[in-house]
Amino acid sequence: MSALNRIREANTRRSTEDSVPLRVAVTVAVVAAATATLRQGVGGSALAVGMLIGIPGAMLFSHLTRYREGFMLKVLLALGILAAFGRFLADVSSLGTGVASDVQIPLAELFLWTQLLHSFDVPARRDLQYSLVSSLVLIGVAGVLSITMSYGLHLVVWAIAASIALVLSHRSELADLPRVVRTGRELPSPSKLLRPVAATLMTVVVLGAVAFSFVPPAGTARALAFPSVLPRASGAIPVPGGLSNPTLGKNDPARRNADGTFDPGGGPGESFGYFGFTESLDTSVRGRPDNTLVMRVRAAQADFWRGQTFDKWNGRHWSLSDDRVREIESDALPLRIPPTPTDSGGWEGSQLVQTYYLERPGPNLIFAAYAADQVYFADRRLFQMTDGTLRAGVELGKDTVYTVISIRPPATAEILREASTGPTEIPRPIATRYLQLPVNMPGRIRELAQEVTAAETNTYDKVRALESWMADNTQYTLDIPRLPKGADAVDQYLFEDRQGFCEQIGSALVVMLRSLGVPARLAVGYSAGVRNPFTGMYEVRASDAHAWAEVWFPGVGWQGFDPTAKVPLAGDAGPQSAAAGLAQYLDLSLPHLPERAGSVVFAIALVGTALGLLAWMAFESTKRRALARRRWVTRFLDRVEAAGRARGRPRPASQSAPAYIRELGRSVLPDGRFDGVAEVVEREVFGAVPAGTEEREQAEQALEEASARWPAG
């Protein structure tokens, strides 16, 4: 046998699938998966149009040609797949980055092309099942690429279509077998399909929700892909290593002129801007960041997403005592971040991979959990401050993506207690920089700190005692009285107003700890945000902008503390299941769902509902017409059999209708008239002349009266 014949034999078609509904359901599933992938930025508009028209067209072609051998078609499709694979290889080789994440998009395009080409040759049920499985792969690829909730709509459509396809496929598989039992007399009913599909979907949802509570959360512990994307429009920062924050508008430090004034050309600050992302933090000023989504963070665990720290305190302002920068540049990613003299290092901490997806233009700070070790940043150049924080050399606009791998100190309460118990020697660079206090600081701050921590023997418990005191004796509010001129902000907060927000609270904690001889600094950035259990990402909003205290522990390094934000210690466990945070997310999201979903979704829902109703009405109308066309005897027999069934006497398949009626008349519906009813039915079924209207009415009357006299059950 020649090789060609062998190939032909291997490709011999199996039993051809004729079910149009099954083909349509599979097509919908495939198109939903393809659309979901296209929405993640895969391919251009040409590919999108090609897929949306091509897949249904290919499916139609496949249906129309399902009885042809199609050997040449297979050859052409194989060539097409080879071409798509060749294009994939060309795309990958042209990237030249060696970063696995960059391969994702070409790989997704290859999947799309494969799916399209495969749609041309799906004559058999098995082929359609392959298509369904490959659509699962495709929707999975889209899921990997997706970071937003809009993917959920595609997933729901795909899940419904796939469920329907599975049900229809199973029915089609059964239909290949001889049917044992002819139930007969049944009208086509949508419930035959709708019921199992609806019941199945409900079960899938319930069991899926249970499974969601148990499956592990998405993690990046063994990450393969470290995305980093920089939009083309990203301009360079005027001063290399300088700070830029376009959200502050005219107060953007990058617009500062040489004489210290700001460039008047700057526009007003964005509503979501945070005044902490600048070179000096005035604790008497509080912007009003709104709920604008600033960025999404993909991370296995919550942490403070730290932007920068301040070490110099003058009683009102925080600033940087040392603004020198070190340039870190490399041709190959990742950029390795060396430890700074103020970091302890030396410990083997846990790795935390964070990928930041910026949704709004922001400061050029590279946010990272402490302490950044490697950064995947498309510009391949960063600037490191002496406190270890990082700045980009370019503006970070919307759609910027970068990944930071942090090595977090092994910090648990026990470790921190142990590290700070007994006499500790503070390295000079840390003591010099992080024990600084203003000379005119009111003495009662130190006295209060000593009083509150008198019973504590280690730094960790002292921090917790101070946090507890502030929680018990002060109030968190954004509406605080104006800070009097010349007043110390911490003193005013602790003793006069006893009201403040994160800047006051964080500053007070830092200052009191410094007064006790504990190195501390003020960090600004974002709190973790709300974990979206569906995307697995922390959604960080402008209102999550935050200031908190960082406390130095010997042998451990810097550890964030803040009584106003529930962020676990670095050594604490992260979320234990994929559903972690679901309740909180729904609580925050559901009230805003209508405004977020937008009119398009509602329009789709309305149109879908209307079409569904129209389809249902059309079906019901068809059903009524079909019922009306049925003969009287068929309808009457249905009623008789229903009455018999209700009384525990279903009609055996082997029993004729008249015999069954007579038997009912002698058993569960004892009525002498049933013999006459049986004769009427006999004449209707077998007689040359059907029974008259009067006899029919008598038969119906006999059935009704007997049923009423001998009720079921």
Partner 1 sequence: MVVVVLLALALVMIGRTTGSGWTMVIVSGLAGALGAAALWPAVALRRVESRLGAPRDAVCGRPMDLSLEVTGPRTSLVVTVALGYRDAASSFESASDRSWTEVPGAGNFVCSPSRRGVVDRIRLELKCAAPLGLVWWRRSVEAPLDRPIDVAPTVTPSAVPTISEGEGGDRHRPERRSGHDSVRTVRDYVPGDATRLVHWGLTARRDQLTVKELEDPEGALLAIVLDLRGDPLVAEKLASRAAGLCTAGLRSGVEVALCTAEESGPVTGRVSSPTVAGRRLARAVAGPPGTPPRSARVVRLP
Q: Which of residues 628-657 bind partner 1 (CB under 8 A)?
A: 650-654
| Structure tokens given for 221 | 């512990």
Count of residues that interact with partner 1, criterion CB under 8 A: 73
Does 119 sit near partner 1 (CB under 8 A)?
no
Q: Which is nearer to partner 1, 422 or 652 (CB)?
A: 652
CA-CA distance, 333 to 226, in Å (whole number)?
10
Does 607 sit near partner 1 (CB under 8 A)?
no
Cis peptide before 378 (omega within 30 of 0): no
Cα end-to-end distance, the chain, whole Å: 71
- Give the CB-side neighbour count of residue 600, counting CA atoms within 13 A: 3
Please identify which residue in 136, 153, 437, 601 interacts with partner 1, judged by CB under 8 A: 136
Sign of the four-CA dihedral 447, 452, 456, 458 = negative
Non-local (6+) Cβ contacts of 604 within 8 A are none
Strands (E) located in 501-556: 520-526, 530-532, 537-541, 545-553
Closest CA to 661 of 688, 633, 689: 633
| Structure tokens given for 426 | 């503070």
Does 169 sit near partner 1 (CB under 8 A)?
yes
Kindly state the smallest distance separating residue 655's Cβ from partner 1, in Å.
10
Q: Which is nearer to partner 1, 124 or 218 (CB)?
A: 218
Please identify which residue in 43, 50, 123, 143 interacts with partner 1, judged by CB under 8 A: 143
Kindly state the smallest distance separating residue 137's Cβ from partner 1, in Å.
7
Does 229 sit near partner 1 (CB under 8 A)?
no
Please identify which residue in 7, 82, 133, 593 interacts with partner 1, judged by CB under 8 A: 133
Which segment (155-163, 378-386, 387-395, 428-436) binds partner 1 by CB under 8 A?
Answer: 155-163
Kindly state the smallest distance separating residue 701's Cβ from partner 1, in Å.
29
Does 206 sit near partner 1 (CB under 8 A)?
yes
| Structure tokens given for 606 | 């309305």
Does 713 sit near partner 1 (CB under 8 A)?
no
Does 155 sit near partner 1 (CB under 8 A)?
yes
Which segment (175-183, 340-348, 416-424, 622-630) binds partner 1 by CB under 8 A?
Answer: 175-183
Does 291 sit near partner 1 (CB under 8 A)?
no
Does 166 sit near partner 1 (CB under 8 A)?
yes
Does 299 sit near partner 1 (CB under 8 A)?
yes
Cβ neighbours, 10 Å, residue 117: 19
CA-CA distance, 592 to 290, in Å (whole number)?
14
Kindly state the smallest distance separating residue 170's Cβ from partner 1, in Å.
3
How are beta strands 305-310 and 520-526 bridged, if at all?
Answer: antiparallel
Kindly state the smallest distance separating residue 142's Cβ from partner 1, in Å.
8
Which segment (46-54, 207-215, 277-285, 627-635) binds partner 1 by CB under 8 A?
Answer: 207-215
Query: Per CB under 8 A, which of residues 517..576 are in contact with partner 1?
Result: 532-537
Place of tokens 């291997």: 10
CA-CA distance, 282 to 275, in Å (whole number)?
8
Q: What is the DSSP letter of 492?
A: I
Closest CA to 696 of 640, 625, 644, 626: 640
Q: Which is nearer to partner 1, 128 or 489 (CB)?
A: 128
Query: Per CB under 8 A, which of residues 358..417 are in contact with partner 1?
Result: none
Please identify which residue in 151, 367, 460, 558 interacts with partner 1, judged by CB under 8 A: 151
Does 216 sit near partner 1 (CB under 8 A)?
yes
Does 220 sit near partner 1 (CB under 8 A)?
yes
Non-local (6+) Cβ contacts of 50 within 8 A are 116
Does 137 sit near partner 1 (CB under 8 A)?
yes
CA-CA distance, 309 to 548, in Å (whole number)?
9
Contact 310, 521 (CB under 8 A): yes
Please identify which residue in 3, 72, 224, 332 interacts with partner 1, judged by CB under 8 A: 224
- Helix axis angle for 657-666 and 674-686, nearest 10°, is 180
Kindly state the smallest distance separating residue 296's Cβ from partner 1, in Å.
11
Please identify which residue in 5, 45, 94, 183 interacts with partner 1, judged by CB under 8 A: 183
Closest CA to 354 of 400, 403, 304: 403
